[in-house]
Structure 1
Amino acid sequence: MATTRIGLDRLPPAARAAIEEHTGPLLTVEETTEGFNSEIAVRVTSTTGTWHIKGLRTDHPRAWTQRREAAVAPFLTSLAPTLDWHVETAGWDLLGFEALNGHHADYTPGSPDLPEVAALLRRLGETPCPGIEMREAEQRLERYAAHPDDLHFFAGPHLLHTDLNNANALVDVHAAQGDRARLVDWAWATRGAAWLDAGYWVIWLIASGHTPTSAEEWAAEIPAWHTAAAEGIIAFAAANAHLWAEISTADPGPWTLRLATASEAWHAHRTIG
Protein backbone atom coordinates (compact mmCIF):
# COMPACT_ATOMS: atom_id res chain seq x y z
CA MET A 1 0.00 0.00 0.00
CA ALA A 2 1.22 3.50 -0.80
CA THR A 3 2.35 5.79 2.01
CA THR A 4 0.64 9.18 2.37
CA ARG A 5 2.93 11.95 1.12
CA ILE A 6 3.33 15.21 3.04
CA GLY A 7 5.19 18.44 2.29
CA LEU A 8 8.51 19.44 3.80
CA ASP A 9 6.76 22.39 5.45
CA ARG A 10 4.91 19.95 7.72
CA LEU A 11 8.09 18.68 9.34
CA PRO A 12 8.76 19.77 12.94
CA PRO A 13 11.02 22.84 13.05
CA ALA A 14 13.83 20.78 14.62
CA ALA A 15 13.78 18.32 11.70
CA ARG A 16 13.79 21.14 9.14
CA ALA A 17 16.70 22.75 11.01
CA ALA A 18 18.62 19.44 10.94
CA ILE A 19 18.24 19.32 7.16
CA GLU A 20 19.51 22.88 6.77
CA GLU A 21 22.56 22.08 8.88
CA HIS A 22 23.64 20.00 5.87
CA THR A 23 22.21 22.04 3.03
CA GLY A 24 22.16 25.61 4.24
CA PRO A 25 18.96 27.68 3.81
CA LEU A 26 16.75 26.13 1.15
CA LEU A 27 16.02 28.16 -1.95
CA THR A 28 13.63 25.78 -3.73
CA VAL A 29 11.60 22.75 -2.68
CA GLU A 30 10.02 20.60 -5.40
CA GLU A 31 7.73 17.77 -4.38
CA THR A 32 8.23 14.50 -6.30
CA THR A 33 5.31 12.29 -7.19
CA GLU A 34 7.07 9.01 -7.94
CA GLY A 35 7.45 6.24 -5.40
CA PHE A 36 5.12 4.71 -2.87
CA ASN A 37 7.17 4.24 0.27
CA SER A 38 8.18 7.70 1.52
CA GLU A 39 6.19 10.27 3.48
CA ILE A 40 8.73 12.92 2.46
CA ALA A 41 10.06 12.94 -1.12
CA VAL A 42 11.40 16.27 -2.37
CA ARG A 43 14.14 17.77 -4.51
CA VAL A 44 15.69 20.78 -2.80
CA THR A 45 18.30 23.35 -3.74
CA SER A 46 20.40 25.78 -1.73
CA THR A 47 23.41 27.91 -2.52
CA THR A 48 25.61 24.85 -1.87
CA GLY A 49 23.91 22.14 -3.91
CA THR A 50 20.88 20.07 -4.85
CA TRP A 51 19.56 16.98 -3.05
CA HIS A 52 16.77 14.46 -3.15
CA ILE A 53 15.37 14.03 0.35
CA LYS A 54 13.26 11.08 1.42
CA GLY A 55 11.94 10.42 4.87
CA LEU A 56 9.62 8.52 7.18
CA ARG A 57 8.51 8.99 10.76
CA THR A 58 10.68 6.92 13.09
CA ASP A 59 7.55 5.10 14.32
CA HIS A 60 6.39 4.24 10.78
CA PRO A 61 6.10 0.45 10.20
CA ARG A 62 8.60 0.71 7.34
CA ALA A 63 11.10 3.00 9.10
CA TRP A 64 13.58 0.12 8.77
CA THR A 65 13.74 0.82 5.03
CA GLN A 66 15.45 4.15 5.73
CA ARG A 67 18.14 2.44 7.78
CA ARG A 68 18.55 -0.24 5.11
CA GLU A 69 19.14 2.40 2.43
CA ALA A 70 21.62 4.21 4.65
CA ALA A 71 23.51 0.97 5.36
CA VAL A 72 23.78 -0.18 1.74
CA ALA A 73 24.48 3.23 0.15
CA PRO A 74 28.28 3.28 0.69
CA PHE A 75 28.62 0.07 -1.34
CA LEU A 76 26.75 1.29 -4.45
CA THR A 77 29.44 3.21 -6.34
CA SER A 78 28.35 3.73 -9.98
CA LEU A 79 24.99 2.09 -9.26
CA ALA A 80 23.06 4.67 -7.24
CA PRO A 81 23.10 8.29 -6.10
CA THR A 82 25.52 9.11 -3.28
CA LEU A 83 24.01 9.40 0.19
CA ASP A 84 25.37 12.71 1.48
CA TRP A 85 23.74 12.71 4.89
CA HIS A 86 21.36 10.85 7.20
CA VAL A 87 19.63 12.50 10.16
CA GLU A 88 17.23 11.11 12.72
CA THR A 89 15.64 13.75 14.91
CA ALA A 90 12.30 15.09 16.15
CA GLY A 91 10.59 11.79 15.30
CA TRP A 92 11.80 11.73 11.68
CA ASP A 93 14.36 9.69 9.75
CA LEU A 94 15.64 11.66 6.74
CA LEU A 95 18.08 10.75 3.95
CA GLY A 96 19.78 13.35 1.75
CA PHE A 97 20.89 11.92 -1.61
CA GLU A 98 22.85 13.45 -4.44
CA ALA A 99 20.20 14.74 -6.87
CA LEU A 100 20.52 12.93 -10.20
CA ASN A 101 19.76 14.34 -13.60
CA GLY A 102 18.04 12.28 -16.23
CA HIS A 103 14.68 10.67 -16.85
CA HIS A 104 12.86 7.58 -15.66
CA ALA A 105 13.75 4.68 -17.90
CA ASP A 106 11.40 3.84 -20.75
CA TYR A 107 10.93 0.06 -20.79
CA THR A 108 8.73 -0.12 -23.89
CA PRO A 109 9.90 -2.21 -26.87
CA GLY A 110 12.53 -0.42 -28.94
CA SER A 111 13.39 2.11 -26.24
CA PRO A 112 17.00 3.40 -26.32
CA ASP A 113 16.99 3.12 -22.51
CA LEU A 114 16.92 -0.69 -22.55
CA PRO A 115 20.64 -1.15 -23.31
CA GLU A 116 21.48 1.37 -20.58
CA VAL A 117 19.45 -0.54 -17.99
CA ALA A 118 21.00 -3.81 -19.14
CA ALA A 119 24.46 -2.26 -18.65
CA LEU A 120 23.39 -1.09 -15.20
CA LEU A 121 22.29 -4.59 -14.21
CA ARG A 122 25.58 -5.99 -15.49
CA ARG A 123 27.43 -3.53 -13.21
CA LEU A 124 25.22 -4.58 -10.33
CA GLY A 125 26.09 -8.21 -11.02
CA GLU A 126 29.78 -7.35 -10.64
CA THR A 127 29.28 -5.51 -7.33
CA PRO A 128 30.24 -7.43 -4.16
CA CYS A 129 27.44 -7.94 -1.68
CA PRO A 130 28.23 -6.05 1.54
CA GLY A 131 28.32 -7.94 4.82
CA ILE A 132 25.46 -5.97 6.34
CA GLU A 133 22.07 -7.07 7.62
CA MET A 134 19.91 -7.71 4.58
CA ARG A 135 16.84 -9.70 3.70
CA GLU A 136 17.32 -13.06 2.00
CA ALA A 137 15.55 -13.72 -1.31
CA GLU A 138 14.32 -17.16 -0.28
CA GLN A 139 12.77 -15.69 2.88
CA ARG A 140 11.01 -12.91 0.96
CA LEU A 141 9.49 -15.42 -1.48
CA GLU A 142 8.76 -18.18 1.02
CA ARG A 143 5.01 -17.47 1.24
CA TYR A 144 4.63 -17.42 -2.54
CA ALA A 145 6.65 -20.38 -3.76
CA ALA A 146 4.58 -23.19 -5.25
CA HIS A 147 6.71 -25.78 -3.41
CA PRO A 148 9.06 -25.40 -0.41
CA ASP A 149 11.79 -27.15 -2.40
CA ASP A 150 11.74 -24.25 -4.89
CA LEU A 151 13.27 -21.84 -2.39
CA HIS A 152 16.81 -23.09 -2.87
CA PHE A 153 16.75 -21.69 -6.41
CA PHE A 154 16.48 -18.17 -4.98
CA ALA A 155 19.25 -18.39 -2.38
CA GLY A 156 22.71 -16.96 -3.03
CA PRO A 157 25.38 -14.51 -1.90
CA HIS A 158 24.73 -11.70 -4.40
CA LEU A 159 23.51 -8.12 -3.97
CA LEU A 160 20.03 -7.56 -5.44
CA HIS A 161 17.82 -4.50 -5.84
CA THR A 162 14.55 -6.42 -6.47
CA ASP A 163 12.32 -3.42 -7.35
CA LEU A 164 12.96 -2.88 -11.06
CA ASN A 165 10.08 -0.43 -11.49
CA ASN A 166 11.07 1.86 -14.35
CA ALA A 167 10.70 4.85 -12.02
CA ASN A 168 13.61 3.43 -10.01
CA ALA A 169 15.94 3.45 -13.03
CA LEU A 170 17.19 6.91 -14.00
CA VAL A 171 18.94 7.42 -17.34
CA ASP A 172 21.13 10.46 -18.03
CA VAL A 173 21.89 10.64 -21.75
CA HIS A 174 24.68 13.17 -21.08
CA ALA A 175 26.60 10.90 -18.71
CA ALA A 176 29.59 8.79 -19.72
CA GLN A 177 28.90 5.90 -22.09
CA GLY A 178 28.16 2.67 -20.22
CA ASP A 179 27.51 4.53 -16.97
CA ARG A 180 24.35 6.41 -17.85
CA ALA A 181 21.81 4.64 -15.65
CA ARG A 182 21.42 4.55 -11.88
CA LEU A 183 19.08 2.65 -9.57
CA VAL A 184 17.31 4.54 -6.81
CA ASP A 185 15.25 3.30 -3.85
CA TRP A 186 17.31 0.49 -2.33
CA ALA A 187 14.87 -0.07 0.53
CA TRP A 188 14.34 -3.68 -0.58
CA ALA A 189 18.01 -4.53 -1.07
CA THR A 190 18.28 -8.29 -0.75
CA ARG A 191 20.86 -11.07 -0.77
CA GLY A 192 20.14 -13.92 -3.17
CA ALA A 193 20.83 -15.69 -6.45
CA ALA A 194 22.63 -13.49 -8.98
CA TRP A 195 20.01 -13.91 -11.73
CA LEU A 196 16.98 -12.74 -9.79
CA ASP A 197 17.17 -9.03 -10.71
CA ALA A 198 17.11 -9.98 -14.39
CA GLY A 199 13.99 -12.00 -13.56
CA TYR A 200 12.37 -9.06 -11.79
CA TRP A 201 13.17 -6.94 -14.85
CA VAL A 202 11.40 -9.45 -17.08
CA ILE A 203 8.12 -8.84 -15.24
CA TRP A 204 8.38 -5.06 -15.60
CA LEU A 205 9.31 -5.40 -19.28
CA ILE A 206 6.23 -7.53 -19.96
CA ALA A 207 4.14 -4.97 -18.07
CA SER A 208 5.61 -2.32 -20.40
CA GLY A 209 4.51 -4.08 -23.59
CA HIS A 210 7.12 -6.77 -24.27
CA THR A 211 6.21 -10.35 -25.02
CA PRO A 212 7.65 -12.84 -22.53
CA THR A 213 10.10 -13.93 -25.23
CA SER A 214 11.28 -10.37 -25.90
CA ALA A 215 11.59 -9.68 -22.17
CA GLU A 216 13.73 -12.78 -21.70
CA GLU A 217 15.93 -11.74 -24.61
CA TRP A 218 16.75 -8.58 -22.66
CA ALA A 219 17.32 -10.61 -19.50
CA ALA A 220 19.82 -12.67 -21.50
CA GLU A 221 21.93 -9.51 -21.83
CA ILE A 222 22.74 -10.01 -18.12
CA PRO A 223 25.42 -12.71 -17.69
CA ALA A 224 23.93 -13.94 -14.42
CA TRP A 225 20.69 -14.86 -16.21
CA HIS A 226 22.53 -17.74 -17.87
CA THR A 227 23.33 -19.26 -14.47
CA ALA A 228 19.64 -19.87 -13.74
CA ALA A 229 18.23 -23.37 -14.00
CA ALA A 230 15.10 -23.63 -16.13
CA GLU A 231 13.28 -25.10 -13.12
CA GLY A 232 14.41 -22.12 -11.05
CA ILE A 233 13.00 -19.63 -13.55
CA ILE A 234 9.67 -21.47 -13.55
CA ALA A 235 9.66 -21.42 -9.74
CA PHE A 236 10.47 -17.70 -9.67
CA ALA A 237 7.77 -16.89 -12.24
CA ALA A 238 5.24 -18.89 -10.21
CA ALA A 239 6.18 -17.18 -6.95
CA ASN A 240 5.86 -13.73 -8.48
CA ALA A 241 2.53 -14.59 -10.09
CA HIS A 242 1.25 -15.52 -6.61
CA LEU A 243 2.78 -12.40 -5.05
CA TRP A 244 1.26 -9.98 -7.57
CA ALA A 245 -2.10 -11.74 -7.45
CA GLU A 246 -2.14 -11.10 -3.70
CA ILE A 247 -1.03 -7.47 -4.05
CA SER A 248 -3.54 -6.68 -6.80
CA THR A 249 -6.36 -8.27 -4.83
CA ALA A 250 -5.57 -6.18 -1.76
CA ASP A 251 -4.92 -2.99 -3.76
CA PRO A 252 -6.55 -3.30 -7.20
CA GLY A 253 -5.12 -0.21 -8.84
CA PRO A 254 -4.12 0.03 -12.51
CA TRP A 255 -0.41 -0.59 -11.91
CA THR A 256 -0.87 -3.53 -9.54
CA LEU A 257 -3.28 -5.18 -11.96
CA ARG A 258 -0.81 -4.57 -14.80
CA LEU A 259 1.96 -6.31 -12.84
CA ALA A 260 -0.34 -9.17 -11.89
CA THR A 261 -1.24 -9.68 -15.56
CA ALA A 262 2.41 -9.50 -16.61
CA SER A 263 3.65 -11.95 -14.00
CA GLU A 264 0.88 -14.41 -14.83
CA ALA A 265 1.70 -14.10 -18.56
CA TRP A 266 5.34 -14.92 -17.83
CA HIS A 267 4.37 -17.89 -15.66
CA ALA A 268 2.10 -19.20 -18.41
CA HIS A 269 4.85 -18.73 -20.98
CA ARG A 270 7.27 -20.72 -18.86
CA THR A 271 4.88 -23.53 -18.01
CA ILE A 272 2.83 -23.81 -21.21
CA GLY A 273 4.96 -22.20 -23.92
Structure 2
Amino acid sequence: MATIRIGLDRLPPAARTAVEEHTGPLLTVEEAAEGFNSEIAARVTSTTGTWHVKGLRTDHPRAWTQRREAALAPFLTSLAPALRWRVETAGWDLLGFEALGGHHADYTPGSPDLPEVAALLRRLSETPCPAIELRHAEQRLKRYAAHPDDRRFFAGTHLLHTDLNNANVLVDEHAPGGDRARLVDWAWATRGAAWLDAGYWVIWLIAAGHTPASAERWATQIPSWHTAPTEGITAFAAANHTLWNEISTADPTPWTQRLAIATTTWHEHRKGI
Protein backbone atom coordinates (compact mmCIF):
# COMPACT_ATOMS: atom_id res chain seq x y z
CA MET A 1 0.00 0.00 0.00
CA ALA A 2 1.13 3.56 -0.70
CA THR A 3 2.46 5.67 2.16
CA ILE A 4 0.43 8.81 2.93
CA ARG A 5 2.34 11.87 1.66
CA ILE A 6 2.64 15.00 3.78
CA GLY A 7 4.10 18.40 3.02
CA LEU A 8 7.55 19.51 4.15
CA ASP A 9 5.82 22.27 6.10
CA ARG A 10 4.41 19.63 8.45
CA LEU A 11 7.82 18.55 9.68
CA PRO A 12 8.64 19.36 13.31
CA PRO A 13 10.49 22.69 13.49
CA ALA A 14 13.67 20.94 14.70
CA ALA A 15 13.70 18.70 11.62
CA ARG A 16 13.11 21.61 9.25
CA THR A 17 15.92 23.55 10.96
CA ALA A 18 18.26 20.56 10.59
CA VAL A 19 17.51 20.38 6.87
CA GLU A 20 18.22 24.08 6.45
CA GLU A 21 21.58 23.63 8.16
CA HIS A 22 22.55 21.79 4.97
CA THR A 23 20.59 23.82 2.43
CA GLY A 24 20.23 27.29 3.85
CA PRO A 25 16.76 28.90 4.01
CA LEU A 26 14.47 27.24 1.49
CA LEU A 27 13.13 29.41 -1.30
CA THR A 28 10.89 26.89 -3.08
CA VAL A 29 9.41 23.51 -2.21
CA GLU A 30 7.84 21.44 -5.01
CA GLU A 31 6.07 18.35 -3.70
CA ALA A 32 6.62 15.25 -5.86
CA ALA A 33 3.59 13.60 -7.44
CA GLU A 34 5.27 10.25 -8.08
CA GLY A 35 6.42 7.56 -5.69
CA PHE A 36 4.68 5.41 -3.11
CA ASN A 37 7.27 4.80 -0.39
CA SER A 38 8.00 8.18 1.22
CA GLU A 39 5.99 10.43 3.52
CA ILE A 40 8.15 13.35 2.42
CA ALA A 41 9.16 13.68 -1.24
CA ALA A 42 9.96 17.13 -2.55
CA ARG A 43 12.33 19.10 -4.75
CA VAL A 44 13.68 22.02 -2.73
CA THR A 45 15.80 25.00 -3.69
CA SER A 46 17.75 27.61 -1.78
CA THR A 47 20.35 30.18 -2.74
CA THR A 48 23.00 27.44 -2.52
CA GLY A 49 21.45 24.64 -4.59
CA THR A 50 18.65 22.21 -5.36
CA TRP A 51 17.95 18.82 -3.76
CA HIS A 52 15.41 16.03 -3.83
CA VAL A 53 14.36 15.27 -0.25
CA LYS A 54 12.90 11.93 0.83
CA GLY A 55 11.78 11.23 4.36
CA LEU A 56 10.00 8.86 6.72
CA ARG A 57 9.29 8.94 10.42
CA THR A 58 11.82 6.81 12.26
CA ASP A 59 8.99 4.68 13.68
CA HIS A 60 7.39 4.10 10.27
CA PRO A 61 7.06 0.38 9.36
CA ARG A 62 9.23 0.99 6.27
CA ALA A 63 11.88 3.11 7.97
CA TRP A 64 14.36 0.44 6.88
CA THR A 65 14.01 1.69 3.29
CA GLN A 66 15.65 4.99 4.26
CA ARG A 67 18.55 3.18 5.89
CA ARG A 68 18.96 0.96 2.83
CA GLU A 69 19.02 3.88 0.41
CA ALA A 70 21.58 5.70 2.57
CA ALA A 71 23.78 2.59 2.78
CA LEU A 72 23.62 1.95 -0.97
CA ALA A 73 24.16 5.49 -2.20
CA PRO A 74 28.01 5.49 -2.10
CA PHE A 75 28.09 2.45 -4.41
CA LEU A 76 25.78 3.80 -7.12
CA THR A 77 28.04 6.18 -9.03
CA SER A 78 26.66 6.78 -12.56
CA LEU A 79 23.52 4.80 -11.68
CA ALA A 80 21.64 7.04 -9.25
CA PRO A 81 21.58 10.56 -7.83
CA ALA A 82 24.27 11.22 -5.24
CA LEU A 83 23.28 11.44 -1.57
CA ARG A 84 24.42 14.88 -0.37
CA TRP A 85 23.26 14.80 3.25
CA ARG A 86 21.20 12.93 5.81
CA VAL A 87 19.27 14.26 8.79
CA GLU A 88 18.02 12.09 11.66
CA THR A 89 16.29 14.21 14.25
CA ALA A 90 12.93 14.94 15.89
CA GLY A 91 11.62 11.51 14.93
CA TRP A 92 12.42 11.87 11.21
CA ASP A 93 14.97 10.36 8.83
CA LEU A 94 15.51 12.67 5.83
CA LEU A 95 17.77 12.13 2.82
CA GLY A 96 18.93 14.97 0.58
CA PHE A 97 19.79 13.73 -2.91
CA GLU A 98 21.30 15.46 -5.89
CA ALA A 99 18.40 16.89 -7.92
CA LEU A 100 18.46 15.36 -11.39
CA GLY A 101 17.18 16.99 -14.55
CA GLY A 102 15.42 15.24 -17.41
CA HIS A 103 12.15 13.37 -17.71
CA HIS A 104 10.65 10.07 -16.64
CA ALA A 105 11.54 7.37 -19.14
CA ASP A 106 9.04 6.64 -21.90
CA TYR A 107 8.71 2.86 -22.25
CA THR A 108 6.24 2.84 -25.15
CA PRO A 109 7.21 1.04 -28.38
CA GLY A 110 9.54 3.15 -30.53
CA SER A 111 10.55 5.48 -27.68
CA PRO A 112 14.07 6.96 -27.99
CA ASP A 113 14.46 6.36 -24.24
CA LEU A 114 14.57 2.57 -24.60
CA PRO A 115 18.26 2.35 -25.65
CA GLU A 116 19.16 4.64 -22.74
CA VAL A 117 17.36 2.39 -20.26
CA ALA A 118 19.05 -0.68 -21.75
CA ALA A 119 22.44 1.04 -21.32
CA LEU A 120 21.54 1.88 -17.72
CA LEU A 121 20.69 -1.76 -16.97
CA ARG A 122 23.96 -2.88 -18.56
CA ARG A 123 25.85 -0.53 -16.22
CA LEU A 124 23.88 -1.85 -13.26
CA SER A 125 24.61 -5.48 -14.17
CA GLU A 126 28.34 -4.64 -14.16
CA THR A 127 28.20 -2.96 -10.73
CA PRO A 128 29.58 -5.06 -7.85
CA CYS A 129 27.07 -5.83 -5.13
CA PRO A 130 28.22 -4.13 -1.92
CA ALA A 131 28.65 -6.15 1.26
CA ILE A 132 25.64 -4.65 3.01
CA GLU A 133 22.39 -6.17 4.22
CA LEU A 134 19.99 -6.73 1.32
CA ARG A 135 16.99 -8.94 0.80
CA HIS A 136 17.43 -12.00 -1.40
CA ALA A 137 15.40 -12.45 -4.58
CA GLU A 138 14.62 -16.10 -3.91
CA GLN A 139 13.16 -15.12 -0.53
CA ARG A 140 11.14 -12.21 -1.92
CA LEU A 141 9.57 -14.49 -4.54
CA LYS A 142 9.28 -17.56 -2.31
CA ARG A 143 5.51 -17.27 -1.76
CA TYR A 144 4.83 -16.76 -5.43
CA ALA A 145 6.95 -19.42 -7.11
CA ALA A 146 4.84 -22.06 -8.84
CA HIS A 147 7.20 -24.78 -7.55
CA PRO A 148 9.57 -24.60 -4.56
CA ASP A 149 12.47 -25.64 -6.78
CA ASP A 150 11.93 -22.57 -9.00
CA ARG A 151 13.52 -20.37 -6.36
CA ARG A 152 16.96 -21.57 -7.40
CA PHE A 153 16.61 -19.58 -10.64
CA PHE A 154 16.27 -16.31 -8.73
CA ALA A 155 19.26 -16.70 -6.37
CA GLY A 156 22.52 -14.95 -7.06
CA THR A 157 25.09 -12.44 -5.89
CA HIS A 158 24.27 -9.42 -8.08
CA LEU A 159 22.89 -6.03 -7.10
CA LEU A 160 19.31 -5.56 -8.33
CA HIS A 161 16.96 -2.57 -8.27
CA THR A 162 13.76 -4.62 -8.89
CA ASP A 163 11.34 -1.67 -9.31
CA LEU A 164 11.67 -0.74 -12.99
CA ASN A 165 8.61 1.52 -12.98
CA ASN A 166 9.32 4.14 -15.65
CA ALA A 167 8.83 6.85 -13.00
CA ASN A 168 11.97 5.49 -11.31
CA VAL A 169 14.09 6.11 -14.42
CA LEU A 170 15.12 9.68 -15.27
CA VAL A 171 16.54 10.40 -18.72
CA ASP A 172 18.50 13.61 -19.28
CA GLU A 173 19.73 14.24 -22.84
CA HIS A 174 22.12 16.88 -21.47
CA ALA A 175 23.72 14.75 -18.75
CA PRO A 176 27.54 15.00 -18.73
CA GLY A 177 29.61 11.94 -19.54
CA GLY A 178 27.09 10.25 -21.81
CA ASP A 179 25.25 8.33 -19.07
CA ARG A 180 21.83 9.82 -19.73
CA ALA A 181 19.61 7.56 -17.61
CA ARG A 182 19.62 7.18 -13.83
CA LEU A 183 17.62 5.02 -11.42
CA VAL A 184 15.96 6.53 -8.37
CA ASP A 185 14.20 4.93 -5.39
CA TRP A 186 16.41 2.02 -4.32
CA ALA A 187 14.16 1.02 -1.42
CA TRP A 188 13.62 -2.48 -2.86
CA ALA A 189 17.24 -3.17 -3.78
CA THR A 190 17.92 -6.89 -3.64
CA ARG A 191 20.67 -9.46 -4.11
CA GLY A 192 19.91 -12.08 -6.76
CA ALA A 193 20.44 -13.50 -10.22
CA ALA A 194 22.04 -11.01 -12.62
CA TRP A 195 19.25 -11.22 -15.22
CA LEU A 196 16.31 -10.40 -12.97
CA ASP A 197 16.27 -6.63 -13.53
CA ALA A 198 15.97 -7.25 -17.26
CA GLY A 199 13.01 -9.47 -16.39
CA TYR A 200 11.41 -6.76 -14.26
CA TRP A 201 11.87 -4.37 -17.17
CA VAL A 202 10.04 -6.81 -19.46
CA ILE A 203 6.97 -6.54 -17.21
CA TRP A 204 6.91 -2.75 -17.36
CA LEU A 205 7.53 -2.76 -21.12
CA ILE A 206 4.49 -5.00 -21.65
CA ALA A 207 2.49 -2.69 -19.39
CA ALA A 208 3.58 0.20 -21.66
CA GLY A 209 2.25 -1.49 -24.78
CA HIS A 210 4.93 -3.91 -25.97
CA THR A 211 4.12 -7.46 -26.94
CA PRO A 212 5.93 -10.06 -24.82
CA ALA A 213 8.18 -10.86 -27.79
CA SER A 214 9.08 -7.18 -28.24
CA ALA A 215 9.75 -6.73 -24.53
CA GLU A 216 12.01 -9.79 -24.45
CA ARG A 217 13.92 -8.50 -27.48
CA TRP A 218 14.75 -5.37 -25.48
CA ALA A 219 15.85 -7.56 -22.58
CA THR A 220 18.38 -9.22 -24.91
CA GLN A 221 20.20 -5.86 -24.97
CA ILE A 222 21.38 -6.64 -21.43
CA PRO A 223 24.11 -9.34 -21.56
CA SER A 224 23.05 -10.90 -18.25
CA TRP A 225 19.69 -11.83 -19.80
CA HIS A 226 21.52 -14.40 -21.90
CA THR A 227 22.60 -16.21 -18.71
CA ALA A 228 18.98 -16.93 -17.78
CA PRO A 229 17.76 -20.46 -18.47
CA THR A 230 14.52 -20.64 -20.46
CA GLU A 231 12.75 -22.40 -17.60
CA GLY A 232 14.03 -19.73 -15.20
CA ILE A 233 12.47 -16.92 -17.23
CA THR A 234 9.21 -18.86 -17.39
CA ALA A 235 9.32 -19.42 -13.62
CA PHE A 236 9.96 -15.71 -13.05
CA ALA A 237 7.01 -14.76 -15.27
CA ALA A 238 4.77 -17.19 -13.39
CA ALA A 239 5.84 -15.87 -9.98
CA ASN A 240 5.19 -12.26 -10.97
CA HIS A 241 1.82 -13.21 -12.45
CA THR A 242 0.82 -14.58 -9.03
CA LEU A 243 2.35 -11.62 -7.19
CA TRP A 244 0.62 -8.91 -9.21
CA ASN A 245 -2.72 -10.65 -9.21
CA GLU A 246 -2.52 -10.73 -5.42
CA ILE A 247 -1.53 -7.06 -5.25
CA SER A 248 -4.24 -5.93 -7.69
CA THR A 249 -6.89 -7.88 -5.80
CA ALA A 250 -5.92 -6.27 -2.47
CA ASP A 251 -5.41 -2.80 -3.97
CA PRO A 252 -7.43 -2.56 -7.23
CA THR A 253 -6.09 0.74 -8.57
CA PRO A 254 -5.52 1.39 -12.29
CA TRP A 255 -1.77 0.94 -12.10
CA THR A 256 -1.91 -2.35 -10.17
CA GLN A 257 -4.53 -3.64 -12.61
CA ARG A 258 -2.25 -2.67 -15.49
CA LEU A 259 0.63 -4.65 -13.99
CA ALA A 260 -1.63 -7.63 -13.34
CA ILE A 261 -2.69 -7.64 -16.99
CA ALA A 262 0.92 -7.31 -18.14
CA THR A 263 2.16 -10.19 -16.01
CA THR A 264 -0.78 -12.36 -17.08
CA THR A 265 0.03 -11.60 -20.72
CA TRP A 266 3.70 -12.51 -20.23
CA HIS A 267 2.84 -15.63 -18.26
CA GLU A 268 0.55 -16.85 -21.07
CA HIS A 269 3.26 -16.12 -23.63
CA ARG A 270 5.87 -18.07 -21.67
CA LYS A 271 3.56 -21.06 -21.27
CA GLY A 272 3.53 -21.30 -25.06
CA ILE A 273 7.32 -21.52 -25.33
Q: TM-score range by the shorter chain?
A: over 0.9
What residue number does 2:138 align with?
138
2:202 aligned with 1:164: no
- Rounded to whole Å, the distance in 1 between the matches of 2:88 and 2:266 is 42
What residue number does 1:221 align with?
221
- Rounded to whole Å, the distance in 2 between the matches of 1:178 and 1:199 is 25
Structure 1 segments (4+ residues) deviating >2 Å: none
2:153 aligned with 1:153: yes
1:143 is paired with a residue whose SS is helix
Root-mean-square deviation (CA, aligned residues, Å) is 0.7
> For residues 109-146 of structure 1, what are the alpha-carbon distances to aligned partners after superposition, in whole Å with 9 as ceiling and x for unaligned?
00000000000000001100000000000010001000
- Rounded to whole Å, the distance in 1 between the matches of 2:49 and 2:176 is 21
CA 1:177–1:74 in structure 2 vs 1: closer, same or farther (change >3 Å)?
A: closer
> For residues 193-220 of structure 1, what are the alpha-carbon distances to aligned partners after superposition, in whole Å with 9 as ceiling and x for unaligned?
0000000000000000000000000000
- Rounded to whole Å, the distance in 1 between the matches of 2:117 and 2:178 is 10
> For residues 14-55 of structure 1, what are the alpha-carbon distances to aligned partners after superposition, in whole Å with 9 as ceiling and x for unaligned?
000110111111111111100011100000001111000010
For 1:88-167, what aligned pairs fall within 5 Å after superposition? 88-167=88-167
What residue number does 2:240 align with?
240
User: What amino acid is aligned across from residue 173 of structure 2 in structure 1?
Assistant: V
Task: Tell me by how many angstroms 1:242 deviates.
Answer: 0.5
2:34 aligned with 1:34: yes
- Give the conservation status (yes or no) of the 8 Å contact 1:119–1:178: no
For 1:192-271, what aligned pairs fall within 5 Å after superposition? 192-271=192-271
User: What amino acid is aligned across from residue 56 of structure 2 in structure 1?
Assistant: L
Q: Which runs of 5+ in 2 are unaligned?
A: none
Task: Tell me by how many angstroms 1:178 deviates.
Answer: 4.0
1:225 is paired with a residue whose SS is helix
For 1:45-64, what aligned pairs fall within 5 Å after superposition? 45-64=45-64
- Rounded to whole Å, the distance in 1 between the matches of 2:107 and 2:90 is 40
2:43 aligned with 1:43: yes
- Rounded to whole Å, the distance in 2 between the matches of 1:35 and 1:124 is 21
> For residues 141-199 of structure 1, what are the alpha-carbon distances to aligned partners after superposition, in whole Å with 9 as ceiling and x for unaligned?
00100011000100000000000000000000112464000000000010000000000
User: What amino acid is aligned across from residue 62 of structure 1 in structure 2?
Assistant: R
- Rounded to whole Å, the distance in 1 between the matches of 2:144 and 2:123 is 29
Q: TM-score, normalised by structure 1?
A: 0.99
**Identity level (%):** 83
- Rounded to whole Å, the distance in 2 between the matches of 1:172 and 1:42 is 19
- Rounded to whole Å, the distance in 1 between the matches of 2:82 and 2:177 is 19
- Rounded to whole Å, the distance in 2 between the matches of 1:175 and 1:7 is 30
> For residues 37-77 of structure 1, what are the alpha-carbon distances to aligned partners after superposition, in whole Å with 9 as ceiling and x for unaligned?
11000000011110000101111110100000000010000
2:124 is paired with a residue whose SS is helix
- Rounded to whole Å, the distance in 2 between the matches of 1:119 and 1:178 is 10
- Rounded to whole Å, the distance in 1 between the matches of 2:65 and 2:175 is 29
- Rounded to whole Å, the distance in 1 between the matches of 2:20 and 2:175 is 29
